[in-house]
Chain A
Amino acid sequence: MATRTTGNLTGPTGGTGDAAAVLTAHGVRRAFDGRPVLAGVDLSIAAGEVVALLGGSGSGKSTLLRVLAGLDAEATGRTGLRGTAAVVFQEHRLLPWKRVGDNVALGLTGPDVRARVDRALAEVGLADRRRAWPAELSGGQAQRVAVARALVRGPDLLLLDEPFGALDALTRLRMQSLLRRLRAEHGFAALLVTHDVEEALLLADRILLLDGGVIAEEIPVDLDPARSPDQPAFGALRRRLLDRLGVPAA
């Protein structure tokens, strides 16, 4: 069972003693039927930092994200969250029997829920779909509602599990710039699970490589905020990551 500390992590439980960390994990392990998938993962995410988690298919990215989200009762190790976290999954996971607005409002309380929901929907460009059923939305729209459902909680940390992986290329580009804009406005930290090297380079301040059940490599992304794949530095980092992931040069 992963011990989870919520709240102040600056005390002795903080481990690395990173005062600004919004999320820390130490020695996270998880095995399925005796086969280890996570073999002692350590990581820390600073407030407002966007970290991409890269790894091959089946490397345990989703497993790690579920542990960090507190959804896996059978993992061992320690995770600490300071503040609140919200999750966006690869599938939108909207409740089909609730209208878009009620999906976003799920679990919210207070007198101003309606206004908060409207604001969150407006931020993802779906202000006019509040009364629509999820089944009436396109894949990209549904995923934007899922983003709004996470945003409306005002999270300090956004956990994203390949949130745009199921979308077509054009929609994916739009969603990436939407995420960049939202992050600039709200300043949340994010852990972005992806298998798309370019997406990681576009959005992240730092890239973690999950391999063999541990964080095998940590790569800072020292690119200017308005980065684009055309820049030489971008290309060089891209090549380095692809090499590391075992993708041969064309």
Chain B
Amino acid sequence: MLATAPPTAVAATPDAGRRRRAGRRWRRLVSPVVLVAGWEAAARAGLLPPEKLPAPSQVLSTGVRLAGDGTLGVHLLDSLTRAGVGLLVGGVLALLLGVAAGLLRLGDDLVDPPVQMARMLPHLGLVPLLIIWVGIGESLKVTLVALGVFFPIYFNTYAGIRDIDERLVEAARTCGLGPAARLRHVVLPGALPSLFLGLRLAIGAAWLSLVVGEQVNAQTGIGFLMMEAREFSQTDVVVLGLVIYALLGLLSDVALRVWERRTLTWRRGLRAT
């Protein structure tokens, strides 16, 4: 009988699976580590001229130095503020318009056609026009980020609402839920997975827009740090800026994934079946 089987026999299988997965994770670290080590070795051996590509250790120590004297913190904060404000402005606007177009026929007819037309424009190509419109100051950077954020959030909000199973809405109606309650209990939670996807794409677009925006006459920010360093041929600072941009993208993505997993716990059950 199953009940008399030793419990260890059952427990052993998932344990072995976990160990195998952990082993694989370590193996996947090997080639990046080898690459960085090779880069370091090549720089030290003089194969890589330092003005073209400094050693990783040099980039790291530059990072520590700039972090220590507060320079890095100031510029990082400015970059983060631009990204945050742009994300907020573009995101809220996209959310409002996406909800209006997704829920209301009038909203769909009025909002969706112009948005569909505008999505064809590569928003980074708008930089010259935006400079004419809003100048080269702070508003250019924020506008660029907001534009990049707008489209993924708008389209995923719209699609998330449109893809909701009409039968669930109907069932909620038979349970006595009015329009506001249906929005809260059915439409919004149903659109949430799509909203998270939109947000993830939007954050990627936000960093990209920031990189481009900060190369236009910035006085602060990570991009400014890199442009200034290029003038003085401080390649280590340029590489440091790149690493920071990459880390920002990575960290925001990980944070969003964790948030998503916490919020959408109900999907775990879905995956198991």
> Is A45's CB within 8 Å of the partner chain B?
no
A135–B174 contact, CB under 8 A? no
Query: Which residues does chain A contribute within 8 Å of B273, judged by CB atoms?
Result: 135-136
- C-alpha gap A91/B170 in the complex (Å): 12
Partner pick for B174 among A86, A133, A136, CB 8 A cutoff = A86
A87–B174 contact, CB under 8 A? yes
Partner pick for A87 among B168, B171, B192, CB 8 A cutoff = B171
Mask, B240-273, CB within 8 Å of A = 1, is 0000000000000000000000001111111011
A71–B170 contact, CB under 8 A? yes
Query: Which residues does chain A contribute within 8 Å of B168, judged by CB atoms?
Result: 93, 95
Query: Which residues does chain A contribute within 8 Å of B265, judged by CB atoms?
Result: 133
B189–A107 contact, CB under 8 A? no
Query: Which residues does chain B contribute within 8 Å of A96, judged by CB atoms?
Result: 266-267, 270
Mask, A146-174, CB within 8 Å of B = 1, is 00010001000000000000000000000
Partner pick for B192 among A97, A132, A136, CB 8 A cutoff = A97
B177–A106 contact, CB under 8 A? yes
- Count of A-B contacts judged by CB separation below 8 Å: 63
- C-alpha gap A98/B266 in the complex (Å): 7
Number of interface residues of A (CB under 8 A): 22
> Is A89's CB within 8 Å of the partner chain B?
yes
A106–B270 contact, CB under 8 A? no
Query: Which residues does chain A contribute within 8 Å of B65, judged by CB atoms?
Result: none
Assuming the contacts A91-B167, A95-B185, A95-B186, asked whether A106 and B269 have C-beta atoms less than 8 A apart, the reply is no
Query: Which residues does chain B contribute within 8 Å of A133, judged by CB atoms?
Result: 265-266, 268-270
A71–B272 contact, CB under 8 A? no
Within 8 A of A (CB), among B135-181: 167-168, 170-177, 181
Within 8 A of B (CB), among A89-126: 89, 91, 93, 95-99, 106-107
> Is B204's CB within 8 Å of the partner chain A?
no
> Is B84's CB within 8 Å of the partner chain A?
no
Partner pick for A136 among B172, B181, B185, B269, CB 8 A cutoff = B269
> Is A69's CB within 8 Å of the partner chain B?
yes
Query: Which residues does chain A contribute within 8 Å of B175, judged by CB atoms?
Result: 86, 106-107, 149, 153
Query: Which residues does chain B contribute within 8 Å of A71, judged by CB atoms?
Result: 170, 173-174
Q: Which residue of A lies closest to B175 (CB)?
A: A107
Assuming the contacts A97-B189, A97-B190, A106-B185, asked whether A89 and B266 have C-beta atoms less than 8 A apart, the reply is no
Number of interface residues of B (CB under 8 A): 25
Query: Which residues does chain A contribute within 8 Å of B173, judged by CB atoms?
Result: 71
Assuming the contacts A133-B266, A135-B272, asked whether A69 and B174 have C-beta atoms less than 8 A apart, the reply is yes
Within 8 A of B (CB), among A173-191: none
Report the minimal beta-carbon distance from B195 to chain A, rounded to whole angstroms: 13
Q: Which of A89, A96, A98 has the most CB atoms of chain B within a 10 A radius of its CB?
A: A96
A106–B170 contact, CB under 8 A? no
Query: Which residues does chain B contribute within 8 Å of A69, judged by CB atoms?
Result: 174
Query: Which residues does chain A contribute within 8 Å of B176, judged by CB atoms?
Result: 107, 153
Q: Which of B175, B186, B266, B273 has the most CB atoms of chain A within a 10 A radius of its CB?
A: B175
Mask, A42-74, CB within 8 Å of B = 1, is 000000000000000000000000000101000
B172–A106 contact, CB under 8 A? yes
Query: Which residues does chain A contribute within 8 Å of B171, judged by CB atoms?
Result: 87, 89, 93, 95
Report the minimal beta-carbon distance from B224 to chain A, rounded to whole angstroms: 44
Assuming the contacts A71-B173, A91-B167, A93-B167, asked whether A135 and B190 have C-beta atoms less than 8 A apart, the reply is no
Query: Which residues does chain B contribute within 8 Å of A153, judged by CB atoms?
Result: 175-176
- C-alpha gap A136/B189 in the complex (Å): 18
Query: Which residues does chain A contribute within 8 Å of B177, judged by CB atoms?
Result: 106-107
Assuming the contacts A89-B167, A95-B189, A97-B192, asked whether A107 and B270 have C-beta atoms less than 8 A apart, the reply is no
- C-alpha gap A232/B270 in the complex (Å): 47
Within 8 A of A (CB), among B175-208: 175-177, 181, 185-186, 189-190, 192
A107–B167 contact, CB under 8 A? no
- C-alpha gap A89/B172 in the complex (Å): 12
Q: Which residue of A lies closest to B170 (CB)?
A: A71
Query: Which residues does chain B contribute within 8 Å of A97, judged by CB atoms?
Result: 189-190, 192, 264, 266
Could you list 29 examples of A-B contacts with CB < 8 Å?
A69-B174, A71-B170, A85-B174, A86-B174, A87-B174, A89-B171, A91-B167, A93-B167, A93-B168, A93-B170, A95-B172, A95-B189, A96-B266, A97-B192, A97-B264, A98-B185, A98-B189, A99-B266, A106-B172, A107-B175, A107-B177, A132-B269, A133-B265, A133-B268, A134-B266, A135-B266, A135-B269, A135-B270, A136-B272
